[in-house]
Each structure stands twice: as structure tokens, then as C-alpha cells.
A and B are shown apart, each in its own frame.
Chain A
Amino acid sequence: MTTVALKPATMAQALTRALRDAMAADPTVHVLGEDVGTLGGVFRVTDGLAAEFGEDRCTDTPLAEAGILGTAVGMAMYGLRPVVEMQFDAFAYPAFEQLISHVARMRNRTRGRMPLPITVRVPYGGGIGGVEHHSDSSEAYYMATPGLHVVTPATVADAYGLLRAAIASDDPVVVLEPKRLYWSKDSWNPEEPQSVEPIGRAVVRRPGRSATLITYGPSVPVCLEAAEAARAEGWDLEVVDLRSLVPFDDETVCASVRRTGRAVVVHESGSFGGPGGEIAARVTERCFHHLEAPVLRVAGFDLPYPPPMLERHHLPGVDRILDAVARLQWEADN
């Protein structure tokens, strides 16, 4: 028997596999969105699903985000599990009314009688040279809406595991897919049985003792790179990948910060009113007596997402992260 060398899979392929496995396991799972059928989605995440499961299960809808999510609400009311694709972060905004006024609160307003198991997949974030409206980090809006779970994978394995968990959840889940990691590969082996990640647990991606980088989604690889670079300075950085923004894993995050005594929150979206403020506040409230320095934020600037030729100045990179870590040292030494 010859062993064929496995081609490492991309995050996009893992997402496709998650959708296919979920659809095969549960006939109530339906995929709908713009161009998800014949084309397989503009990022090809739904590739092959219409051919395999038919157009009733993987449906090209009219071009209308509120309509896509609004009809998904009705489908969920009737016992289906719709998985909705929003083509790009900024094009999900027309659907916010449905998301906020109905998807997020139907369980609550009906006293639990009408839960809506809807998964909303949103490719998000920058770094791919997209033109205007193709690079927004919209997580703060979703996080601020009670009734939604919000997850964002950073690895190929998590992309699979979190999407499966989202589809299996009886509550609506927004899956923020870092589009700049769609083509990233890691050691995920598609031939092996896959695990479904419980929603709400952060992981320590890299243990360290000097400080904790708290991050998620597209910034995880950047933080890992920063941690490598930091070794030259003699700093041993721990990297915590949140994976789930709602619910938030205070336990893992705070255990790490209590060990290291210093923390920097890293994300692409703007810092004012952004996720980092919430995370810094939570960490400060819980770990104040363990902190050697204030919790710092390294985030995108507070501006509309910049044009692609300037985005590298906006996105938090290794240097900006290391500068922040240096400031933590200074605060501690003085």
C-alpha cells in the first residue's frame, strides 16, 4: 500500500468540510446566501455543496442580506438549521435589523419557546488588499448584542470545530471568519476524525512568562510571530487565542494574566469602543492585584478601514505589539 502524502488543508477547506459534514449528519441544515450554489461562494467555502445536497439545501438567494437572514428566521421557526453566508463583513449591515431585532432575541421574547438555531458566517477583517467595504472588523457590533454567540477561529482545526459547534448550537452564532487566514494552512489532517470545539473556551497558543498577548482571529498569527521576535529581547510572551468573544472565557484569560502579571490586547478593529476596552476592563477588574502594569491595547486606528495601499499602517503588526510590550516593562521598572 502506498501512502499518499496529505496536502495540508486550508482554513477555507476546513470550513467547507465542516459544512458538508454538518449537512450530511443533519438533513435540517440548509446553507443560503449570495452565490453560494453554483459558484461555491466568492471564497469557495460552499464549494460543491449544491452539487452534493441539491439547490434546496444550498440555495442561491436573491441579492438581499435582510431577506437572507429574515427568511432564515422563518426557516428556523419551522425546524430547519439555516447557515447563512454574508458575502463580506460590510455587506452584512443591511441584515443588522433582522439580526438584532429578531435573531438575537427571539428565544428571549418568547420565553424560550422559539429558539433560533441560525449560524451567520461573516468573512471579516483586512489584510487582503480589498477595496472599500471589504475589510471591516465588525465584531464589536455583534459582541454588543445580547442573545448572540460570537466565535472567530484562528487555526484550520478551530475553523472546523467552531463552525460545527455553531451549527449544532440551539442559539444563533455569528462565526467571524478571518478572511486573510482563509488560505492559511496548518497541520490539520482532514483524513482524521475531527473534534468539535465547545463554544466559549480560549486556548493558550503559546505559553510564556513575561506577559500575555490576548488576541483572536486574524491577529493570532501576528501575535505568535511577535512572541517569537520577542525572544531576542529576552521576553517570553504567552499568547491566548480567545476563539470565542461571546461567551468570554474569563477563566483562561485571567489565569494567564495572573501568571504573567502583564497583558496586551491585540485586535484589528478600532480601539475606541472596541473589544479591547471590554477585555482590558475585565482583566483589570479580576487581576488588579496581580498586574505589574496597566493592560494595554494594540488595535487598528479609529478610522474607517483604510484603502488597501495604506492598510499595513493600520493593522497591528509585530513592531507595534513589541513596542507595547516594551512599555509594559517600563511601567514595571519605574
Chain B
Amino acid sequence: MTVMEQRGAYRPTPPPAWQPRTDPAPLLPDAEPYRVLGTDAAAQADPELLRRLYAQLVRGRRYNVQATALTKQGRLAVYPSSTGQEACEVAAALALQERDWLFPSYRDTLAAVARGVDPVEALTLLRGDWHTGYDPYEHRVAPLCTPLATQLPHAVGLAHAARLKGDDVVALAMVGDGGTSEGDFHEALNFAAVWQAPVVFLVQNNGFAISVPLAKQTAAPSLAHKAVGYGMPGRLVDGNDAAAVHEVLTDAVRHAREGGGPTLVEAVTYRIEAHTNADDATRYRGDAEVETWREHDPIQLLERELTARGLLDEDAKQSARDAAETMAADLRARMNQDAVLDPMDLFAHVYAEPTPQLREQRDLLRAELEAEHADQEGTHR
């Protein structure tokens, strides 16, 4: 028998038929961001909810303006404004139940405040008196997270733990478009999908990661498309349409709570201010682009809808503005008080019990402070 004949006789066993694990079609995001305001869907929206969203947007904008002003007065070291992105911030907070958890990034102060965190305590990280001023358990808001995307696996772990304990708690984790390139983004989405953890990932795609535009960040059709590869639904929403973001997030939260697993939501929005007050945005973008987005302002969008439908009169607008002004005045007054700090706090929370090494260092600082104090007493006399 020739080699060729032998070959001809060889019949390899066919591999088992390949089956996709999940039908990708229902996971795919729509081609266009979902919108409510200015569409027929708006008629379905609950007027009471829209008014609440409106009041929160106005308050949020005022907070952004006030905090930015505080950087100019040297009261805040830095502030990453979310002006233009308030709809995402507010919807994030309002889509959650009290027992749920929020995992914000450094830009999401507003979401934390909208969830009940004291406006001053939400700023300690940026003021510099303590990293996290608030008690994360009080309103179930994790510390504002500075390293990009690292809070996402925390959200997954917490949601997973809650489900193991039999609690119907959902975690909502927020991240920027730049943060989606980090490895932790991938690991968190993958864990969440494999574990079917009750988590919602909200990407605020505001166009830039400091100076780098989305086109240099990813080649994906949209950030929402990334969901499909993990086996979870991806949703694309107009991030300046508060009603749309709220609806999409509320659906995703409900889906997670009912055991449906995680969702990735991409909210398409824009960062109107520079990355922070320390950044010069003119180096990487033109005014025309910013102006276009200003015309798509989240507050204006909602105000127009509410006014057209007779749901918002001048009085209601004024009372939203008044409430925001009261908050800002209080914030200003309290931020203008010098923070009273106890340097001994440096050693208080490193370990449950300080190590012998830390105890020695603590004694050194105490002695230095006493000497300093004695010096001051001396000069005063």
C-alpha cells in the first residue's frame, strides 16, 4: 500500500459540533444611543421622577460650579468637574435602592452626594484633609477611587458576597472611557459575567481621558460592544438625557436584582470643563466641539421637555435653583472653615493595633508636637 493509499484510508474522528455558549444577538447594543427626551418615549416617563431628576441636575451643576470656585480660592487642591455629565451622576444615584452600593471614581463626587453623602465629606479627598471623609457604610458608597478601574472588581466582589448571603443587593460601578482600557476593567467584567454577579457597570464616555480622545483609546465599535465578549448585555444611552440614563440603569439594576447578571452601560456624554482645574483643554480640543455639546446640555434638555409638557413652571425652576443655592452657600461656608486636623491621626488607622515600629514613630511625632507646642507657648508669652 502506498503512502497515499494509507492516507486515503485514514478517517479522522470529526470534532464535536461547535456550539456558541450564548446567543450574542440579544447582548448587542443598539446602533444609536437610547433617548427619551424629545421622543415619543418621553410621554411614558413619570413626571414626578422627571422633576426629581431636574432638581438634582440643577443642584449637581451648582455643586460643580461651587467646587471649581473653591479650587480658585485654594480651598480645594484639585477638582475634576462633572459639568455636562450631571445626568449620569444623578441617574446613577437615583437608580439604586437604599440597600444597594455605589462604586464611584474620582470624578463621581456628585453621584456620591446625590446618594446622601455630606457635600463637604465628599470633598475631603480633594481638599486633602483625609482620603475618604465619609463612612462608606452610611450611604453604601465606596471610597472615591483614584487608580483607574480598580474599583470595578470591588463592586463585583461585594455584589457576589451579597448574593451568597441571600441579600438582593446590587452594586453599580462607574468608570470613564479611558478606564475601560485597564486590565481591571476586563477582569471585573469577566468575573461578573462568570459569577452572574448582580453588578451594573456604567461607563461615562465623556470623549477624553485627560487629553486622549476615544479614537486613540479603543478600536471597538462602541464601548458597550465590549460587553458581548464577556457574555453580558451592552447598552448604549445618551448620557445627557437624564430620563434615558435613569431608565436604562433602572432596568439594568432590576435585571441584576432579579438574578439576570451584570450589564455594561455606555453613556455617551461630554466633559465640558477641562480634566481638572489644573488641565489646559485648549491643547487638545477646539471650542467649536465644546459649543456643540453645550447645546446638548443635560439640564436644558430636561428643562425643555418639562416646560413643553407643562410640568415645570417658573416657580418650580426657582425653587430648584434656591435649593441648589442653599446647598452651595452651606458648602462654601463650611469649606471656608479651616480643617482641624490631629496629626496623631496619622497613626490611628494603619492597623487595628499599631505595630511596635509604628508605636515608636508615634511617640516621636508626639514629642515633636509637644516641643512645637511649648515653643509656641514660649513665643506667645
> Are the C-beta atoms of B150 and A110 separated by less than 8 Å?
no
**Interface stretch of the complex, out of B11-19, B205-213, B347-355:** B347-355
**A7 at the B interface (CB under 8 A):** no
**B162 at the A interface (CB under 8 A):** yes
Using A67-B153, A247-B357 as known contacts, say yes or no to A74 and B130 having CB atoms under 8 A apart. no
Which single member of B150, B154, B186 contacts A97 (CB below 8 Å)?
A: B150
> Are the C-beta atoms of A101 and B150 separated by less than 8 Å?
yes
**Contact mask for chain B residues 279-297; partner A; CB cutoff 8 A; 1 contact, 0 none:** 0000000000000000000
**Contact mask for chain A residues 57-72; partner B; CB cutoff 8 A; 1 contact, 0 none:** 0000110101101111
**A289 at the B interface (CB under 8 A):** no
CA distance A97 to B164 in the complex (A): 26
**Contact mask for chain B residues 139-169; partner A; CB cutoff 8 A; 1 contact, 0 none:** 0001100010010111111111110110000
The residues in A between 13 and 57 inclusive whose CB is less than 8 angstroms from any CB of B are 30, 56
Give the number of residues in A that approach B within 8 Å (Cβ atoms): 49
Most buried by A among B150, B153, B162: B153
**A109 at the B interface (CB under 8 A):** yes
> Are the C-beta atoms of A75 and B161 separated by less than 8 Å?
yes
Which single member of B161, B184, B187, B357 contacts A80 (CB below 8 Å)?
A: B161
> Are the C-beta atoms of A247 and B131 separated by less than 8 Å?
no
CB of A158, distance to nearest CB on chain B (Å): 19
Using A111-B130, A115-B352 as known contacts, say yes or no to A70 and B188 having CB atoms under 8 A apart. yes
**A112 at the B interface (CB under 8 A):** yes
Using A71-B191, A248-B356 as known contacts, say yes or no to A107 and B137 having CB atoms under 8 A apart. no
**B171 at the A interface (CB under 8 A):** yes
> Are the C-beta atoms of A114 and B157 separated by less than 8 Å?
no
Using A67-B187, A114-B143 as known contacts, say yes or no to A78 and B357 having CB atoms under 8 A apart. no
> Are the C-beta atoms of A108 and B150 separated by less than 8 Å?
no
**B260 at the A interface (CB under 8 A):** no
> Are the C-beta atoms of A70 and B357 separated by less than 8 Å?
no
The residues in B between 231 and 251 inclusive whose CB is less than 8 angstroms from any CB of A are none
> Are the C-beta atoms of A248 and B355 separated by less than 8 Å?
yes
> Are the C-beta atoms of A110 and B156 separated by less than 8 Å?
no
Q: Which residues of B contact A61 (CB under 8 A)?
A: 191
**A325 at the B interface (CB under 8 A):** no
CB of A207, distance to nearest CB on chain B (Å): 23
> Are the C-beta atoms of A108 and B156 separated by less than 8 Å?
no
The residues in A between 126 and 155 inclusive whose CB is less than 8 angstroms from any CB of B are 146-147, 149
> Are the C-beta atoms of A56 and B164 separated by less than 8 Å?
yes
Most buried by B among A62, A109, A149: A109
CB of B353, distance to nearest CB on chain A (Å): 8
CA distance A69 to B143 in the complex (A): 17
Give the number of residues in B that approach A within 8 Å (Cβ atoms): 41
CB of A56, distance to nearest CB on chain B (Å): 6
Which single member of A62, A102, A115, A146 contacts B191 (CB below 8 Å)?
A: A62
CA distance A80 to B154 in the complex (A): 13
> Are the C-beta atoms of A110 and B153 separated by less than 8 Å?
no
CA distance A114 to B154 in the complex (A): 13
CB of A61, distance to nearest CB on chain B (Å): 7
Q: Which residues of B contact A149 (CB under 8 A)?
A: 351
**A113 at the B interface (CB under 8 A):** yes
| Chain B, interface SS category | helix
**Contact mask for chain B residues 90-104; partner A; CB cutoff 8 A; 1 contact, 0 none:** 000000000000000
**B132 at the A interface (CB under 8 A):** yes
Q: Which residues of A contact B56 (CB under 8 A)?
A: none
> Are the C-beta atoms of B350 and A71 separated by less than 8 Å?
no
Q: Which residues of B contact A94 (CB under 8 A)?
A: 183
> Are the C-beta atoms of A64 and B187 separated by less than 8 Å?
yes
> Are the C-beta atoms of A78 and B132 separated by less than 8 Å?
no
CB of B154, distance to nearest CB on chain A (Å): 4
Which single member of A30, A62, A108, A113 contacts B137 (CB below 8 Å)?
A: A113
Using A67-B187, A109-B143, A111-B132 as known contacts, say yes or no to A74 and B349 having CB atoms under 8 A apart. no
Which single member of A77, A106, A111, A171 contacts B158 (CB below 8 Å)?
A: A77
CA distance A143 to B308 in the complex (A): 63
Output the nearest chain A residue to B159 by Cβ-Cβ distance. A74
> Are the C-beta atoms of B157 and A70 separated by less than 8 Å?
yes
Q: Which residues of B contact A64 (CB under 8 A)?
A: 186-187, 190-191
23 examples of A-B residue contacts, CB within 8 angstroms: A62-B191, A62-B194, A67-B156, A67-B187, A67-B188, A70-B153, A70-B156, A73-B153, A73-B157, A74-B158, A74-B161, A75-B161, A77-B157, A78-B161, A82-B157, A97-B184, A102-B150, A114-B136, A114-B143, A115-B352, A147-B351, A247-B357, A248-B355
Known: A78-B162, A251-B356. 19 other contacts (CB 8 A): A62-B190, A67-B188, A70-B154, A70-B157, A70-B187, A71-B156, A71-B191, A75-B160, A82-B157, A97-B184, A110-B349, A111-B132, A111-B349, A112-B349, A200-B356, A246-B355, A248-B356, A249-B356, A250-B357
